[in-house]
A and B are shown apart, each in its own frame.
Chain A
Amino acid sequence: MSPRTAPRLIDFLGAFATGGLLTLMVWFNGTLAVTGSLYFASFVPHLTGSVVAIVVLLALRPTKATTVRAPWWAYLGGVSGALTVMVTSATMNTALAISGTIALGLAGQMLFSLAADKWGVMGLPQRDPTPRDMAALGLILAGSLILIFFGGR
């Protein structure tokens, strides 16, 4: 209910498991892109995801946290997500290739999310990154870059 609950182990494990879902999505959607267009590879998961979303909302009828209406821009996360597909599809076909696109994408994610925490942008809780966060960031990014650039062969 309240966003201001202390982080628990389950929160960390949940976020980690969520990253595993991303691997499945990349695998499934990437397979679509082998025979279909990149638009199609983004269109299909949005379509089937919308169908599942409608079924889940009708079945579970989750309660809303507040009766106060969210700002209009809070409904536009899907646009940003769809734009991501177009941007990465373009850079993947340059000298950056997939590895460079992913590596620079990680940098973009960390830059934005650190700033977002620092200033609590868009109404999410403000949180100052700690030295331990930065150490974790260094270790995880180093491990990721090794996998991206040297894990292939």
Chain B
Amino acid sequence: MLGWAVLAVIGGVLVSLSRQINGRLSLSTSALHSSYWNHVVGLVFITVVGLAVGGLWTGEPFAAPWWAYLGGPVGFVFIAASSWAITRIGAARTALLIIAGQMISGVVLDIALGTAGNPWARVGGVALILAGMIVARTPPPRGAAATLDNPPQHK
């Protein structure tokens, strides 16, 4: 059990690692280029693994509704936007804001789809997340040392 828990944490580390690597590529190229390489390299990787391990075509792969196949275009924008954000506001705040956006939009989607849920937990959870976003969005103090928040004028 502990092993699975560690693996789940590693899953999160891999998410941030991918964002860090793509962000680095965007510094040399562009956010759009980094999303292109992420998708092409990921496609080759998942194809090779899927064919080697087997099971890529099991089930009824073409039985899903048409809109379910549109995750790719959304993903292209997602990776480009992630690379754009991480080089500007840093890894931790990018991760936090993406988590906040995912959680709140998830509640909105659940409500729109009529998914049953605890309204008190939804209100409380969304309120805490919004409060955290307001706290995160504060300007650097005057005279603070040069940091990502307070960039030097040269370099």
Contacts and interface: CB of A to CB of B under 8 A. Distances in A.
B36 A6 contact: no
Given A32-B64, A48-B69, A114-B92, A7 B149 contact: yes
Contacts, number: 462
Contacts of B122: 147, 151
Interface string A25-60: 111110110111101101111111111111011001
A65 B28 contact: yes
Contacts of B49: 39, 82, 86
B23 to A, nearest CB: 5
A64 B98 CA distance: 26
A27 B69 CA distance: 11
Contacts of B104: 19-20
A133 B92 contact: yes
A49 B72 contact: yes
Contacts of A80: 14, 17-18, 21
B73 to A, nearest CB: 5
Contact of A77 (B41, B81, B98): B41
A87 B61 contact: no
A3 B39 CA distance: 23
Contact of B76 (A53, A81, A96, A138): A53
Given A81-B38, A104-B9, A108-B16, A12 B97 contact: yes
B24 A17 contact: no
Indicate the member of B39, B58, B117 with the most A CB atoms within 10 Å: B39
B110 to A, nearest CB: 8
B11 to A, nearest CB: 4
A60 to B, nearest CB: 7
A127 B90 contact: yes
A150 B148 contact: no
B95 to A, nearest CB: 4
Contacts of A140: 96, 99-100, 128-129, 132-133, 136
30 contacts: A2-B151, A7-B93, A14-B85, A18-B101, A22-B102, A36-B60, A37-B55, A40-B58, A48-B71, A52-B72, A56-B76, A70-B25, A77-B19, A81-B79, A91-B11, A100-B8, A107-B12, A108-B13, A109-B12, A113-B95, A114-B92, A116-B91, A122-B20, A122-B23, A123-B27, A124-B86, A127-B147, A136-B96, A150-B121, A152-B117
Interface of B: 1, 4-5, 7-30, 32-43, 45-47, 49-50, 53, 55-65, 67-79, 81-82, 84-107, 109-110, 116-118, 121-122, 124-133, 135-138, 140, 147-152, 155
